[in-house]
Each structure stands twice: as C-alpha cells, then as structure tokens.
A and B are shown apart, each in its own frame.
Chain A
Amino acid sequence: MNSFYLKITACDRVFFEGECVYLSFPGVDGSLGVMAHHQPMATVVENGLVRFRLPDGSEHEVIVSDGMMNVENNRVDILAFSAERPDEIDIRAAERELEIAREQMQQKQSLIEYNLSSASMARAMARLSGARRLKSDEPL
C-alpha cells in the first residue's frame, strides 16, 4: 500500500512521526482527507479531531487546536498548539473550561476578549467531543 510520511508537532512535543496511509482532518469548510502523493498544499486545520491510519492498519485519533498543515513531496506536516489523544483529555477540566468560556461570552466585552473566549470555547468543545466519543464509542 502507498504510504506517506506524517509528522504531527504540538508546541510542547512531537506527537507523532512516521509512515501513514490515510489522514483525515477538519478543514475550513468540513472534513478533508489526505492519501499518499497528495498535491502540494498548505491549509488551516480547525480545532477538532484528526484521524490517521498506519500501514499496519491501526487507526489513531488526536485532538488538535489552532493547526496548520503543509503537504509537499509526499510528506505531511501538521503544526498545532496542542495535540492530545482522546484518553489524555480530562473531561471534567474540559467541561470547566467550556463553562468558563461560556460565562465570559455572556459578559459585555471588547472584541479582543470576544475573540479569545470564542476561541477557547471552540477548543474546549473540540476536546470534549473527542474525549466523549472515546467513552461512548458512538460515531462522530
């Protein structure tokens, strides 16, 4: 099977590095997929769930935030502020973050604060949905 090189880098570690056969990620307007020998591309990865399949057939999931992706020479680079496995996410903490973000959204605030809290809300929701999915095994 054709494979490509995938590297997922978060700001505190290199999350994954190695061969991969299929990758799906949340794009600007919906989920997108990448397979081997993809056209060179640079794009934005939204907050959400990235899935990839390794040559041995195993599937992996990772929840990313504020990501960028670059495809070139059969090599895919994903750079994200955070990259976490669903089982690494503390649901309680994510719920608390969502609560805080929601509360902040309701208060009168400047545009900067609005941008910040809506971004942190999106992050919290992405983490929650990723982690909850793992628990209930329901399809996304």
Chain B
Amino acid sequence: MAQSREIQNRIKSIRDTMKITKAMYMVSSMKVQKAKNKLAASAPYFDGLKRQIADILLHFPEIRHLYFDNRQKDEKETVKKKGFIIVTGDKGMAGAYNNNILKMAREAIGGSEDFRLFFVGEYGRHAFHDLQDHIADDFHATAYDPSVHRARVLTEYLLDLYDREELDEIYIIYTRMVNTLTEEVVKEQLLPLRTSSFLRASMKAKGDMAKDGDYLIYPSPEEVLGSLTKNYVTGYLYGALTESFASEESARMLAMQTATDNGDDMLTGLSVQYNRMRQAAITQEITEVIGGAKALRRKKEKNRKARTEE
C-alpha cells in the first residue's frame, strides 16, 4: 500500500502545480490582450511620424543629418562603434522566448570589436555575464508593462551617446508578433535611420506633393527633423518594447498551456496506475480471504473426517 500513497502524493502535487500554471495562463492572456490593444492604439501615431519624416526627406533630398545614414562622416569611418539594445523578459517560464533572443543577439554581435550592450529585461543581462565589460551598467530597464515614459527615458539616454559620437550605429534586437501563434526575433537598425526605407514608404504619395519652393519648414529643416527623429525613435522603442512584452506573455501563455496539458496527461497516466494498483490490492486481499476461508474449511473437514473415523 505504501506505493499507492506515493502515487497519490504525486497526483496531488501535479494538481497543485496545474493550479499555478492555469492561473499564470490566465494572467498572461490578459496581459497579451492589453499589450495588443496598446500596440494597435499607437499605430496611427507611428505611421504619421513615418510619413512626416518621408515628406521632409522628399522635399529636401540634399539634407544631411546626423540621424540619417547619408551623413558625411559615414564615408570616412572604418570602424563603427556599435550599440545593441537587447530586449528580453525579466524572468523565464516563457518557453524558448528568451533563448531565441539570446541566440540572435550572439549572432548579431558576431565579430564586432567595438560594441556596447544595453539590456531591457534582467534575463539578458545575466545570460551575457561573459561580456560584462561591454554591458552598459547604468542602463537599467524592465521589460514589464512598457510605457511611453520609459521609452522616452531610453531614447534620451541613447541619443545622448549617439550625439556625443560614442556610438555610430544602434541596433535593436526584439521579438515581433507575426500572429497569435508565431513570433520572430528581429534585428533592426535604429540609428542612423535609413533614408531609403522612408522614401519607399511614401512613394505613392509623391503625386499630390506640394512644389518645393512653397514648402515652409519652421524654424529650420534640421531642427524639425531632429525633433521628428527623437519622437520617431521614442515611438519606435515604445512599439518594440510593447511588441516584445506581448510576445513574451504570449510565449508564456503557450508554455503554460503546454504545461497544463502535460499535467493532464500525467494525471491520466497516474490515475490509471493508481486504480490498477488499488484493484490489484483488492484482488489480492480477496484472494487472501478466500484462500484463508478455504484453508479453514479444509481444516474443519479434516477434523470432521478424523472425528467420524474415530
């Protein structure tokens, strides 16, 4: 009977774990929904920013700005100082979510010599312990529930480094949601901005564009573009953080769903095993009782026979 108690204990502990995984599943599904709504709400703003940058670039194709990839300095530099923003979760329990990012990050860094790492989320910082010297220590950000304010703080920090030319290129590695079930890790260049990508986005609007001579940029193209870029980077970071957060929670949701399903399977297996064992025990007991009774009867009959023979 000792073994069936063990099985019962295991069943109980699996049930308890399943309660946790189910609760985590529900919490995550709510967070995914929230993050998705936020993302959808910020889309018109972000698209608008993109269009405005494209407009200015179209009107002033000869403009050379620090934040764009056509700046003069680019052609002279040989070694680029790179910055990588790596967006991971704050904690695990989200399936392969964190590992996928870390793998991509290692690949992206590749053979770069002069680079710095900026982590959003604690998981990444721990995983990259071996590159301690490259990690920006004063850059701390949690991946949990991103806000515009946090994006603004990060932008200010990064643009400051970029303005002082401590960084020449800034990349961001984060997870994008393709749809509810699929996610992909992407590496994108945050700064300098690629002029071509903006121009391509606005090609179709070129027809109803105003004549260049009439176009007024106040106070100056540089200033307006600078301001736009700052907002754009903030918006981009906010979008990336929100999308990562949604992906993380969605990965966690899936992981918890799988865990619950596995728990169910284990429970079925264990309860079959338990019932079988219980049945075996009962059968054995009955056999013992019957065996005992038989033996008793035989003994009695023997005694009776012996008595009649006497």
Contacts and interface: CB of A to CB of B under 8 A. Distances in A.
B41 A79 contact: no
B227 A112 contact: no
Nearest to A79: B48
B238 interface: yes
Nearest to A12: B41
A29 B219 CA distance: 9
B281 interface: no
A70 interface: yes
Interface in B147-193: 148, 152-153, 156-157, 160
Contacts of B238: 11
Given A11-B42, A12-B42, A112-B157, A79 B218 contact: no
A125 to B, nearest CB: 17
A11 B148 contact: yes
B49 interface: yes
Interface residues of A, number: 29
Contact of A14 (B44, B217, B227): B44
Contact of B156 (A9, A43, A82, A112): A112
Interface in A1-40: 9-14, 27-29, 39-40
Given A70-B52, A77-B48, A12 B38 contact: yes
Contacts of B216: 39-43
Nearest to B238: A11
Contact of B218 (A10, A14, A28, A119): A28
Contacts of A119: 152
Contacts, number: 87
Nearest to A110: B160
A111 B156 CA distance: 10
B146 to A, nearest CB: 12
B210 A79 contact: no
Contacts of B214: 39-40
Given A68-B227, A73-B210, A9 B218 contact: no
A10 B148 CA distance: 11
Contacts of B160: 111-112
A40 to B, nearest CB: 4
Contacts of A41: 215-218
Contact of B56 (A29, A42, A79, A116): A42
Contacts of B51: 70, 77
Interface string A110-140: 0110011001000000000000000000000
Nearest to B47: A9
Nearest to A80: B45
A79 B231 contact: yes
Contacts of B48: 9, 77, 79
Interface in B30-83: 38, 41-42, 44-46, 48-49, 51-52, 55-56
A44 interface: yes
B259 interface: no
Contacts of A39: 214, 216
B246 to A, nearest CB: 16
> Which among A44, A73, A116, A119 has the highest number of chain B CB atoms within 10 Å?
A44
Contact of A42 (B152, B209, B224): B224
Contacts of B227: 44, 68
A72 B45 CA distance: 18
Interface of A: 9-14, 27-29, 39-44, 66, 68, 70, 72-73, 77, 79, 81-82, 111-112, 115-116, 119
Interface of B: 38, 41-42, 44-46, 48-49, 51-52, 55-56, 148, 152-153, 156-157, 160, 208-210, 214-219, 223-224, 227-228, 231, 234-235, 238
Given A12-B41, A41-B217, A41-B218, 10 more contacts: A11-B42, A11-B235, A12-B42, A39-B214, A40-B216, A42-B52, A43-B216, A44-B219, A82-B148, A116-B156
22 contacts: A10-B45, A11-B42, A40-B215, A40-B216, A41-B216, A42-B56, A43-B217, A44-B224, A44-B227, A68-B231, A70-B55, A72-B209, A72-B210, A73-B208, A79-B45, A79-B52, A81-B234, A111-B160, A112-B156, A115-B156, A116-B153, A119-B152
